[in-house]
With several copies, the nearest count.
Chain A
Amino acid sequence: MERAKKEAIIEAVLFTMGESVDISKLAEVIEEDTKEAKIIIEEMMQKYQEENRGISIIELDGAYQMCTKGEMYEYLIKVAKSPRKYVLTDTVLETLSIIAYKQPVTRLEIEKIRGVSCDHAVNRLVELDLIKELGRLDAPGRPLLFGTTEQFLRSFGVRSLEDLPSLNPEQIEDFKEQAEEEIQMKLDV
């Protein structure tokens, strides 16, 4: 099979499916191994970045999906119905950020961090398909474990969990430094 044809097939498949398609599936159709398929798709993604293209391909945790470019939004809402925007409250966002970084995580662990109950926020997030149950913890009461969904990756423009803005001990150090600077400023005054 020619390279051009492989690209054509991938484009057609992603267009038709609409949803994210796993790399293994794409590889199978173009009769390649996943490594080679990945190379081809990455190159296609580059091509889509050209100026005269309105659509692009995004990666979502080893799967690929076709979507419009962000800068097309203002033109699209002139013709298309704008996708329903869910405004997440601070409570829901805080809960979501804990789940995103600590997954798999139980309600109790979330509550410990936030200092307040999180039932409502967790239910809302499940409803919005941003988080899902991952199973149960093998502990008394067998509490449910939660983690993020593919919809979460899509909604926040994250390619995979590794792509989340980093959260590391240095960040805490930053906070510490900020605090110290503030103190210093106060002392200097």
Chain B
Amino acid sequence: MAIPVKLQVFEGPLDLLLHLIDKNKIDIYDIPIVTITEQYLSYIKQMDTDDMNVMSEFLVMAATLLDIKCKMLLPKEVNEEGEEEDPRAELVQKLLEYKMYKFMSFELKDRQVDAGRTMYKEPTLPPEVADYRPPVDYEDLIGDLNLSKLHEIFKSVVKKQEDKIDPIRSKFGRLEKDEVNMDEKILFIEAYTKDHKRFSFRALLEKQASKMDVIVTFLVILEMMKTSKISIEQQEIFDDIIITSNM
């Protein structure tokens, strides 16, 4: 019979990790990563949540732990100063920072209880005073601002707007579908092969108009090789490829 385990609710993966560290009474600076990873994984296996957002956050940490575990098995990386880097260092910093804020949140809670005991009073202004709006001193308000400064501000606003447009991605919309047709290319190369019998691959490529034509030509040649319509030979690496027709 399964023993129903009441799982504590954690604020997130860091909270869970801190709990495990606390429970195992281990030094946060020297986390036995294998043990903690095992416990962490067994905990999230028991987690009963349909919320993929919540679950994914816990899974990201699981992946991080496994990654650290692997790195611990490998020879230690050495940084520029020749020091060995502890794969756990980043996680430790995160845990410490989180722990600090968590601690402060308890402090704040205490303070709130105390502060909640004071009471305030609503304003008791006569309505004609409450509704009063003092006149605006425009000279003071505008100060040394003038039209050309306002113009500079406008220009900088427009510039900021332009900066926000990603010049590369904003052009993606203009990409046109390439009109290179695979079937047509096959017909063309087969005809070319029949005419030439034995020819240079480079010479064939030079007849291609665009990068897409080159790529498709290359694909067609590969395909024809596979189906033994042609054979190829190359003397040396990076040499021209000589194509011979088998048709």
Contacts and interface: CB of A to CB of B under 8 A. Distances in A.
Direct contact of A and B (CB under 8 A): yes
Interface stretch (A31-39, A44-52, A148-156): A148-156
A142 B157 CA distance: 13
A33 B226 CA distance: 93
Contact of A156 (B25, B100, B111): B111
B6 interface: no
Interface residues on A, range: 35 or more
Contacts of A88: 109, 112, 141-142, 145
Given A151-B138, A179-B167, A172 B162 contact: yes
Interface residues of B, number: 75
Given A16-B125, A155-B116, A183-B27, A94 B153 contact: yes
A19 B101 CA distance: 30
B154 interface: yes
Interface stretch (B128-136, B193-201, B233-241): B128-136
Interface of B is mostly: helix
Instruction: Report which residue of A83, A94, A96 has the largest number of chain B beta carbons within 10 angstroms of its beta carbon.
Output: A94
A158 B111 contact: yes
B188 interface: no
A115 B102 CA distance: 12
A56 B70 CA distance: 61
Contacts of B67: none
Contact of B118 (A68, A97, A98): A68
Interface of A is mostly: helix
Given A80-B132, A93-B150, A114-B12, A16 B119 contact: yes
B138 A94 contact: no
A98 B136 contact: no
Contacts of B159: 175, 178-179
Interface of B: 11-15, 25-29, 53-54, 57, 61, 94, 96-109, 111-112, 114-125, 129-130, 132, 134-138, 140-142, 145-148, 150-151, 153-155, 157-168
Interface of A: 12, 15-19, 58, 65-73, 76-77, 80-88, 90-91, 93-94, 96-98, 100-101, 113-117, 128-129, 142, 151, 154-158, 163-165, 167, 171-172, 175-176, 178-180, 182-183, 186
